[in-house]
């Protein structure tokens, strides 16, 4: 199976699990971090976002790359 044969529902599930959940949870904890004036967000990534992989894993790699980009954008920010 190749990327163009992967069901759209599976791609949407990958986005929900690997990207949306990271955005939602981070957004939920930020108010408390701002109130305490400290906090730490820890993101766990995957080599799939930077290493060449099988075409079957293209959507997975894309979602992991998106989550990594989001986490990097937060790096070093004061809450």
Give mean pLDDT, residues 59-68.
91
Residue 79 lies in a domain: no
Each residue of 7-62: pLDDT tens digit? Answer: 999 999 999 999 999 999 999 999 999 999 989 899 888 887 777 667 778 888 99
Domain residues for 8? 3-74
Residue 39 lies in a domain: yes
Domains contained in the chain, number:
1
26-33 long-range Cβ contacts below 8 angstroms, 24+ apart: 26/70, 26/74, 30/79, 33/79
Residue 22 lies in a domain: yes
Residues tagged active-site: 60
Stated pTM of the model: 0.81
């Amino acid at each position: 199976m190749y990327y163009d044969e992967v069901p759209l529902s599976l791609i949407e599930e990958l986005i929900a699990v690997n990207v949306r959940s990271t955005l939602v949870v981070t957004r939920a904890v930020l108010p408390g971090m701002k109130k305490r004036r400290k906090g730490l967000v820890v993101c766990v990534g995957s080599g799939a976002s930077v290493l060449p992989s099988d075409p079957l894993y293209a959507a997975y790699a894309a979602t992991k790359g998106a989550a990594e980009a989001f986490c990097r954008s937060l790096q070093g920010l004061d809450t």
